[in-house]
Amino acid sequence: MTDLLRVHNVSKRFERLQAVDNVSLIVPAGQIVGLIGPNGSGKSTLFALLSGSQRAESGRIEFDGHDITHRSPDQIFQLGLVRSYQDPALFTRMTVLDNVLLPVKDQLGENPGLAPLHRIWRKQERDIASAAGALLDRVMLRRHYKTLASDLSGGQMKLLQLGRSLNGSARMLLLDEPTAGVAPKLARDIFHLVEALRREQGLTFLIIEHRLDVLFDFVDDVYVMHAGRVVAQGTAADIAANAQVREIYFGD
Ligand SMILES: Nc1ncnc2c1ncn2[C@@H]1O[C@H](COP(=O)(O)OP(=O)(O)OP(=O)(O)O)[C@@H](O)[C@H]1O
Ligand SMILES: [Mg+2]
């Protein structure tokens, strides 16, 4: 099994707060790995370092053999490492369909030199539209394709966000609380979708989640953060039984 993501001793400080403190973790290709920890433990900041929106001040991040520690968010996205945000980063005044069409890479019609050559890009546009339809089917939103993103329910917004992350040659998704604010049944559906995407498209996942009851049914491996550090790693069963984790996480 090859490691798709390797994080070595990465740190990030905000003034006097050590938000991420010497964190190392590995995500093998094709796995679903959970990242848990109390509020403010540094999980989202770690995602910001992985996706390039914040710079690590020390350590090294490798994705698919590339050193991405100092790459831009766009370069990291192009390599196929795609982050979804804790607050849905949707274009709320656009339709569901436009939201999934937006991240498509390398559209020929956008190249000014090729724009006049309709015949070349018309087929590509048709292919993109049909892929977008399939994608909306996959995230259970096809019948809402004309709906404005702002009119979706919380759970539907999460699904749309997941759909948007998929549409860009993604190889690995960083999902930040994909079920936050979502009804319990839909929370499970979202994880079933993650599992299906892994199976069908070979995607790899690192998922921040507070709903441990759901997360633990789907993950291969779990990392626990506390005060910026990784304090435990193991299977869901290991983590559920870990006394230190129970103390910091569940307060027993
Ligand atoms: N841009 C920033 N500037 C200053 N402090 C920040 C910044 N981003 C995060 N922090 C602080 O860093 C710490 C870690 O925050 P982070 O958002 O990574 O936690 P988290 O584990 O994702 O928490 P939650 O579960 O609540 O989402 C917090 O104390 C937070 O206030
Ligand atoms: Mg967070």
Ligand 2 (ion): residues with CB under 5 Å are: 44
Q: What value does the mean pLDDT take over residues 232-239?
A: 96
8 domain residue, yes or no: yes
Q: In the structure, what pLDDT confidence band is assigned to residue 155 with cuts at 50, 70 and 90? A: confident
The answer to whether the Cα torsion of 25, 181, 91, 136 is positive or negative is positive
Nearest protein CA to atom 26 of ligand 1, as residue? 39
The span from the first CA to the last CA of the chain, in angstroms, equals: 36
Cα–Cα distance, 95 to 104 (Å, whole number): 16
Q: What pLDDT score was predicted for residue 112?
A: 63
pTM > 0.85? yes
Nearest protein CA to atom 30 of ligand 1, as residue? 40
Q: What pLDDT score was predicted for residue 217?
A: 97
Model confidence pLDDT, tens digit, residues 176-192: 999 988 888 889 989 99
CATH number where 239 lies: 3.40.50.300
Q: Which atom of ligand 1 is nearest to the CA of 45?
A: 18
106 domain residue, yes or no: no
Model confidence pLDDT, tens digit, residues 31-62: 999 999 999 999 999 999 999 999 999 999 99
Q: What pLDDT score was predicted for residue 165?
A: 82
72 domain residue, yes or no: yes
Q: Average model confidence (pLDDT) for the chain?
A: 88
> What is the tally of structural domains in the chain?
1
53 domain residue, yes or no: yes
| Domain hosting residue 48, numbered range | 3-93+155-250
100 domain residue, yes or no: no
195, 222 Cβ separation under 8 angstroms: no
Q: Pocket of ligand 1, candidates 23, 44, 206: which has the most ligand atoms within 8 Å of its Cβ, to mutate? A: 44
Q: What pLDDT score was predicted for residue 99?
A: 86
Is the predicted pLDDT of residue 87 greater than 70, yes or no? no
Give the residue, 233 or 129, on which the prediction is more confident. Answer: 233
Q: What pLDDT score was predicted for residue 250?
A: 67
Nearest protein CA to atom 5 of ligand 1, as residue? 14
Nearest protein CA to atom 22 of ligand 1, as residue? 44
Q: Check if 19 has its Cβ closer than 6 Å to any atom of ligand 1.
A: yes
Q: What pLDDT score was predicted for residue 183?
A: 86
Q: Check if 23 has its Cβ closer than 6 Å to any atom of ligand 1.
A: no
Q: What pLDDT score was predicted for residue 172?
A: 96
Lowest mean pLDDT among 28-42, 52-66, 152-166, 189-203: 152-166
